Structures are given as structure tokens and as C-alpha cells.
Amino acid sequence: MSKIYFHTLTHTVELMGSERGWLRAVAANTARPWWGLDGSIPTSEWTSHRAFDIIDMITPGTCGQYVIDVARSVRNGRYDDATIKTLIDVLATCLRVNDVPFRVGDHVVSSANVELNTALATGNDLVCLAAKIHGWCEIHPWFEETDRAWCADIIERALTAGVYRSGLWYTGHCGQRTWCEQGWTDVVALLRDTTTHPGPVVLSYSICDGFPNPDVALTMPTWPNGIPKDWNALTTVQQEERRTAITAWYNLPESQQWETAMDGIRRDQSWANIGPTNLTTTTFGPPITLFDLFHTDRVDRVHAAYASAVVDGKAEDTARNDPRRTGDR
């Protein structure tokens, strides 16, 4: 099973991967009603218009193409209740299991990022922290030492309320029910213990790069501008420079490996620091929510969001979250 790791320089604890899927559900289910496809009146005129509004934003030839194909029969005159209900069900499922790329004006907008941003806009701290842990755990978000108690407080509130799960029952092959701790107790204990394990707490995901690692270290050459992040896109000289830097990093003492990796993420992805002042304001990609997508001036709103993201140095819509790489979406 996959796991989310919480690291300090001196200690690491584990959160079960099943809790990542739960955290995603906490965030996504907070935002999902705002798609307007909840099925309460699945064949109403309003709901069908909302469905076509969404479908018209889907980029053809992507994971949403099947929805476009199903919609074609309705556009061609099959406007009976059963066909429209099927279309809405197919669209809702597509949005639930895929990161659908929307085309809005000149921009491509990630449906998954928009959904998580809507959770940030409408949810409380428990929901927002769930969104951040799920959305960013693969790319090393972190809590500074001064914010660790704040994070632990939110987790304990969420556990008390039942929003996060302290554990779950499962039935093994022999039919015996067994209780499985999710790992929050260890996470909270680590967050609160700044005496034995001081410094920031950094996250990683078990099926992705661990932390620390040489790729995020300050000692790694900056990736060339305009070059896709693909090893084969680098020149032979650039590849050799990176090999040399990787070898040198692995020869460092563990404390220096940690230090250079922390310096690297603080420099290159400062937005991934999670704290009380930015929990709801630092978004997944440009700050676009479902409310923006369904507003009468959505093209202007999306353009303005991208413009503000460029000013902040975070223009790519998948920079803060790439659910297409996760098995939990």
C-alpha cells in the first residue's frame, strides 16, 4: 500500500495511503455540488444547460472526448429524459475520475485544480488542509517549525470530528476483522515534538521521489528555460552536468543532503510551504474556482487569474498539483 511520509532531518513517520484517498474525498466532496450535476433533478432544463456549459469547455481529443461523443446524440435531437440523464451521469463520472483539461479563452484549465481551489474557497481549515496534503504530497510541501503545532491542532480537530480517520476496520482473507491505524497519531506526535526532532516537516509520497533527493537540491543545475522536463530533451553536456551534481549530492553527509534539499524547495517552490497565513490563499495553479468558470465573464476571470499567477511566478496550471500522476484520483 502507498504511504504519505512526514519527514524531519532525524525522523520519519507514515500515513497510510488509503487516507490520501479519503483526504481527496473530503476536499472534492466539498466542492463537487458546485458543478451543478448532483442529480437531484437530473433532467431539469437548468441541469442540462449546466452540463452543456461544462462540455463546451472540454478540450477535444483528451480524456473528456467520450463525453463530447455522448453529447453529440443529444445535440442531434435525442433530448429525451433517459438520454440526458445518461449524459449527465457520464459527465459527472468523467469529472470525478479524471483531470479534464478545459479550454477557456486562450488558456487550458485543469478541472482537478479548479475543484480543489473551490474546496479552498468554501471549506474550513480541516477541508483546506486535506486538499493541500492530498494535492501536494508528491512534490514536497512542508510546515515550518513555527507552524507545526498549528497543523497538529487542525489534525486533532479533524480526528475528533471524524473528518479524518484515526483508523479503519478491514476483513482479511480468513474473514477476520482487523483494526488498522491510519498513522495520524504518529504524525501529530512528530509535529508537536520540536525538541527531539526540530526543524521543518516535509512530505513525500511512497510511489514518487522521497525526501531529501538530489533533484530538488539547491546544488542541482537549474533546468534550462524552454526545455521540457524530460531527461532526453537535455543536451549531452546538460545531462553530464546533472549526473555530476547527483553524484556529488549523494556523497554529502545526510545533514547536508537535507539542508541542500530544503534550500532548493524554499527557493524553487516557496508556494508549497503550508501555514496559517496561506492555507486558503495559495492555490492549485492559477486561482480559478468553479464560481469563476460559471460566471458570465469567465474568460476575463480566467485571464486575470493567469495574469496574477505570472506575477507571482506560478503560471503553470499543473505546477501546484498534478492529479494525473496520482493513483487516488
pLDDT digits (tens, 9 = 90+) for 58-94: 999 999 999 999 999 888 877 777 888 899 999 999 9
Provide the domain limits for residue 37. 3-214+253-325
- pLDDT tens digits along 1-17: 899 999 999 999 999 99
Phi, psi at 214, each rounded to 5°: -70, -25
Nearest-5° Cα angle at 273, 10 to 33: 120
Return the closest-CA partner of residue 107 out of 282, 290, 293: 293
**pLDDT at residue number 310:** 59
Return the closest-CA partner of residue 95 out of 132, 142, 62, 48: 62
Question: Does the residue 88 lie in any domain?
Answer: yes
Question: Does the residue 95 lie in any domain?
Answer: yes
**pLDDT at residue number 311:** 46
Q: What DSSP letter does each residue of 120-178 carry, written as one string?
A: HHHS-HHHHHHHHHHHHGGG--EE-GGGHHHHHHHHHHHHHHTSS-SEEEEE-TTS-EE
User: CB-based contacts of 98: which residues, under 8 Å, 6+ apart?
Assistant: 63, 64, 111, 329
- pLDDT tens digits along 135-155: 999 999 999 999 999 999 999
Is residue 289 over pLDDT 80?
yes
CA-CA distance, 123 to 113, in Å (whole number)? 15
CA distances from 115 to 22, 299, 301 (A): 15, 18, 16
Q: Count the domains in the chain.
A: 1
- Quote the percentage of the chain above a pLDDT of 70: 92
Q: What DSSP letter does each residue of 4-33 carry, written as one string?
A: EEEE-SS-EEEEEHHHHHHHHHHHHHHHGG
Question: Does the residue 298 lie in any domain?
Answer: yes
**pLDDT at residue number 322:** 41
When pLDDT is cut at 50, 70 and 90, the band that residue 266 belongs to is: very high
- pLDDT tens digits along 25-53: 999 999 999 999 876 555 556 778 899 99
294 burial via Cβ count (<10 Å: 0-12, 13-18, 19+): middle
pTM: 0.89
Q: Which of 39-43, 122-126, 180-184, 296-300 has the lowest mean pLDDT?
A: 39-43
Q: Are 106 and 98 in contact (CB under 8 A)?
A: no
CA-CA distance, 23 to 17, in Å (whole number)? 10
**pLDDT at residue number 76:** 81
Strands (E), 185-291: 201-205
Rounded to the nearest 10°, the torsion over CA 117, 120, 122, 127 is: 130
Mean pLDDT of the chain: 90
Question: Does the residue 285 lie in any domain?
Answer: yes
Cell numbers 485543469: residue: 110
Question: Does the residue 220 lie in any domain?
Answer: no
Question: Does the residue 235 lie in any domain?
Answer: no
Grid coordinates representing 108? 487550458
Please give the single-letter amino acid code of residue 137: C
Question: Does the residue 166 lie in any domain?
Answer: yes
Question: Does the residue 120 lie in any domain?
Answer: yes
Is residue 315 over pLDDT 60?
no
Q: Which of 33-37, 141-145, 209-213, 272-276 has the lowest mean pLDDT?
A: 33-37
CA-CA distance, 179 to 182, in Å (whole number)? 10
